[in-house]
Amino acid sequence: MLIEFMMIFLTLVNLIILSTSRLSTCIKVIAFQGIILGVLPVAGGQFDIQLVIFSIIAISVKAILFPSMLLRTLSQLNIHREKKPYVGYGMSLLIGLGAIVLSWWISKNLPLTITPANSAVLPVSIFTAFVGLYLIITRKMALTQVIGYLIFENGIYMFGVILPQKQPLLVELAVLLDAFVAVFVMGITIFHISREFDHIETDQLSTLRS
């Protein structure tokens, strides 16, 4: 029951990201997503000490560390909104609804060798990955792309949580570390880009090619 609620929350939260232009809202949403994802491994009711430690690490990285780094970058940049994305917010919301349908359809047909603990986790994880990818494709701000990358990563992380017996937690931790390094580097890069060019819009950066 708890897991179902969490999944519904995640879906709604993803839709919020699709329809908002405020960067600070996006970052808060990521923090919220991070909390839900961190709780997810232990939400099934089994209290394994290993899982609890893992859950604490995940929450501290996904819900505290990443958002605070992004907020810090945001405050340095003096930018608050995403400017003119390639696809408008209303349209994004409609596409998001389509993506929900698609991800439920995919998860229904996806042949899995093991049955997941809860049937709602798989479609939501696919949906989250779609949303992340969608943000990377349609938004112009470099910061939004980092956010998209993190959401995409969250989707993959959820997929991994469904199959705990298949995938050792060590691998998950390594992935977490990778994401951490990536966000760290991207944060610094964005800061330097904005200082150098007075904006962080990637479509204008493509003119840098010789």
Partner 1 sequence: MFYYSIKIFLVGVFLIFFGGILSLLFWRKQKLSILVGTLGAVSGSILGLIPAIKVLLSGGKESLYIAWSIPFGAFFVEIDAISAFFLLCIFILSIITAIYGSRYLLEYKNKSLAKAIFFFNVLISSMAMVVVSANGMLFLICWEIMSIASFFLVTFEDEHKHVRQAGIVYLIATHIGTAFLLVMFILLGRESNSLDFDKFAAIKLLPSSMASIIFILSLVGFGTKAGLVPFHIWLPEAHPAAPSHVSALMSGVMIKTGIYGIIRVLTFLPNPPLWWGWLLIIVGAVSGVIGVLFALAQHDIKRLLAYHSVENIGIITMGLGLGVVGINSGSQILAILGFGGAILHILNHALFKGLLFLGAGSVVSAAGTREIDELGGLGKNMFVTSVTFLIGAVAICGIPPLNGFISEFLIYTGSFKGLITKQLDLAAVSIIIIGSLALIGGLALACFTKVYGIVFLGEPRSKHAMNVQESSMIMLVPMIILAALCVFIGLFSSITINWLKQCISQIAGIGPDVVSSQILPLSNILIKVSFAAFCLFAAIAILLFIRKKMLSAEKVSIAPTWDCGYAKPDARMQYTASSFAQPLVDTFKMILRTRKITEPIKDLFPVEGQFESSTPEVSRDYLFNPIFRVIYLLLGRLRWLQGGNIQLYILYIALTLIALIIWKLR
Size of interface with partner 1, in residues (CB under 8 A): 15
In the set 51, 102, 156, 175, which binds partner 1 (CB under 8 A)? 102
What does the CA dihedral 120, 62, 13, 100 come to, rounded to 10 degrees?
-40
Name which of 102, 175, 182 is nearest 149 in CA terms.
182
Name which of 38, 34, 77, 32 is nearest 56 in CA terms.
38
CA angle at residue 73 from 68 to 77, to 5 degrees?
145
In the set 78, 115, 206, 210, which binds partner 1 (CB under 8 A)? 206
Task: Answer for the pair 152, 133: CB distance below 8 angstroms, yes or no.
Answer: yes
* 82 phi-psi bin (left φ>0, alpha ψ -120 to 50, beta other): beta
- Verify binding: residue 210, partner 1, rule CB under 8 A: no
In the set 115, 170, 203, 210, which binds partner 1 (CB under 8 A)? 203
Residue 113 Cβ, how far from partner 1 at the closest point, in Å?
Answer: 15
- Verify binding: residue 20, partner 1, rule CB under 8 A: no
In the set 35, 93, 95, 106, which binds partner 1 (CB under 8 A)? 106
Of residues 56 and 110, the one with the C-beta less far from partner 1: 110
Name which of 129, 132, 134 is nearest 85 in CA terms.
134
Site for partner 1 in 115-174 (CB under 8 A): 133, 136-138, 140
Chain residues in the site for partner 1 (CB under 8 A): 86, 102, 105-106, 109-110, 133, 136-138, 140, 202-203, 206, 209
